[in-house]
Structure 1
């Protein structure tokens, strides 16, 4: 029996044994139609990367409708239901310099004259998506089909026009109050700009994990991943919130990953030894956030060790599986890199403008190990303003403007990472509830 099957079976047995631990979600099911929910998110998106040093810019603009349709569960000891996720999009303008995982390209010729996918003209319009089926007993759900994932070791990229989709099975159990167990297996990965349902050629990814809320102050979690012919990865997190005087608080957060690559797996540009069969990486971060009313200030330190950088893209996912604080345009995850951040956040509701939020941050990374320099550096100045309508006909509609000013040393840019870049992201989201 495969590992994921054993994990899923264990979750279901645990559900049967302790299903009386607290109120059952399934016992409160109203019906397949009665509990159905459907939304569509209309998104207009623009990403512009102004690259320095003679490198080609990337600029993409598109319009999308993102669907999420969910039936309720049938009544009974075991409830059944279905779901549908998908999107339909069209580009705005010619998008001749498209990139940034925004708009799919047709098969075409690369710079060497070779026929390859993703090298042709951009699609004028496209649609993607899939269905899933689900079953629930007590507080345990098993879902099979196309899904959007939010796991620290396997996360769907949601920072582009449309989400990344995974196909597989995921079991989630919440039989004990405060404890959530997860186990699953996925065999397809469709990144945000891909038409093929397995465009990223995922072989097999088995995931498992648990998170527990000890009380209102302390939370902890652990997740693992075994990606066939690629890597094995483990993630831990602990978060503690300390109440202080005058309605203020101090939040401490620790998170980290340990990764070991399979022998013969693809080699990242962030490792010095291109023939290494013994690649590994540890990356961790510690942050503290002081909150006083509408103001928050965070300080964070992050460090990477091992004979490789974090290299999240080799996991065959869409580059969002890095739940660490020093992650904006750059993720500050180079080989042996250390980085520090200061971030300020202002919630304007404290000044009579609810729904308006501003975040500004500066991150500095050093000691990056490259072929020619063991102390390469990078830095980023990040600013984001977001407004969400609180009432009226546009309630819940949001406008987000984000700007990053990124700079690094040539030793890191040329062989490992992106060049100096100024990036703008503008997203207008209008959610509509269908039922």
Structure 2
């Protein structure tokens, strides 16, 4: 990732502000900094004969430094947020690259190391804040992925406002993305793989993604959300969300998560999709049991920015179950071992089944996925904040690759401020 003009301007702003001891003291107040060391092993085995690649397997070490400053004193407070990233290869080769852990090289393998810097200048007025530069996003319209060695960041701007009680307003404009396995910024694209039925006129590329929306807390247990978003020339989308948490007694509740997204084309695509989804989760002490349903309607599958995490109930470890006409359901079980006196240890298992995928033939597409996850975070002592996480997935499909996958992630976070 090369430093862009926004990054340089933000860095210069920070250096300039630090000249004044008073200003510097205000910047340090409410500042935070942490360094995460992330060790990642990834193995994906393709379980059918004749596959172009039998296995993807890599091992890498990454370091992520996050530094968020406070704001200077005054009517308008100024500050800077920074993400520094460095990753290097521990093991890869023999045709096993392509895990998205590392930056690809021209030979079909992976580069030995990569480094990135994301800097965003920020300003605060009253209960509103603006960020400009390189940053991560997390809302109904777009979610930066952080599921590999290094996180995905975008170049753009964002306004967050809490001027009104119980209402969060959120607006942003993105121009480029640095993906988790990339060394530089590039234009945005739309997810088109799978059996989505999406066709394009021209390149799958756009230099503008805009969103406007927010969340309103209706009462203590009920929150409603709405976002309008547009990937210029490719798609427009209206998304709605309603989340209700209902206490049912001592240490038990029922959570309902309802989602609706309607996507249409924006000139150079045939996008036409309505995604409906619902997830109901019952929690009792350390146990949680969830049931979910997701349905794709229209002439194409779901639309979202490529490489990001879509706001879909059934987006999981490998699949998103968002192909044309696909219906899918999910069953999920979680257990927190603090109920057995082992705080920090958590277990999750889920099963998803999708069918009715339009393959353009007499037969419909079917797929299923089973995910298992076990994670332990040390709670105290010299190992505090060190976590061990194992993720396993099995995928079977009559229109895509069968997959057995394992991920082992060791992470240590060191607070610096």
Quickly name the TM-score band, shorter chain normalised: 0.7 to 0.9
SS at match of 1:393: helix
Tell me which residue corresponds to 2:14: none
Matches within 5 A, 1:27-426: 31-54=26-49, 55=51, 56=53, 57-96=55-94, 97-108=96-107, 120-198=108-186, 200=188, 202-265=206-269, 278-312=270-304, 315=305, 317-409=306-398, 412-413=399-400, 419-426=401-408
Contact residue 304 and residue 335 of structure 1 kept, 8 A: yes
CA distance in 1, matches of 2:380, 2:138: 29
Classify 1:427/1:247 alpha carbon distance in 2 versus 1 (closer, same or farther; 3 Å).
same
Superposed displacement of residue 264, structure 1: 2.2
CA distance in 1, matches of 2:41, 2:311: 23
Structure 2 gaps of 5+ residues are 1-23, 189-204
Structure 1 gaps of 5+ residues are 1-28, 109-119, 266-277, 414-418
Question: C-alpha deviations, 1:290-346, integer Å up to 9, x for none?
Answer: 11100110111110111111143xx3x413123424533111111101111111110
When normalised by structure 1's length, the TM-score is 0.83
**Mean CA deviation greater in 32-41 or 189-198:** 32-41
SS at match of 1:223: strand
Question: C-alpha deviations, 1:56-111, integer Å up to 9, x for none?
Answer: 11112110001111221001111001121120010111344121321111234xxx
Tell me which residue corresponds to 2:194: none
Contact residue 326 and residue 339 of structure 1 kept, 8 A: no
Contact residue 290 and residue 331 of structure 2 kept, 8 A: yes
Contact residue 142 and residue 308 of structure 2 kept, 8 A: no
Superposed displacement of residue 215, structure 1: 2.1
CA distance in 2, matches of 1:257, 1:30: 45
CA distance in 1, matches of 2:258, 2:232: 28
**CA RMSD in angstroms, aligned pairs only:** 1.7
| Aligned residue-pair number | 374
When normalised by structure 2's length, the TM-score is 0.86
Superposed displacement of residue 242, structure 1: 1.3
CA distance in 2, matches of 1:350, 1:196: 46
Superposed displacement of residue 375, structure 1: 2.2
Tell me which residue corresponds to 1:433: 415
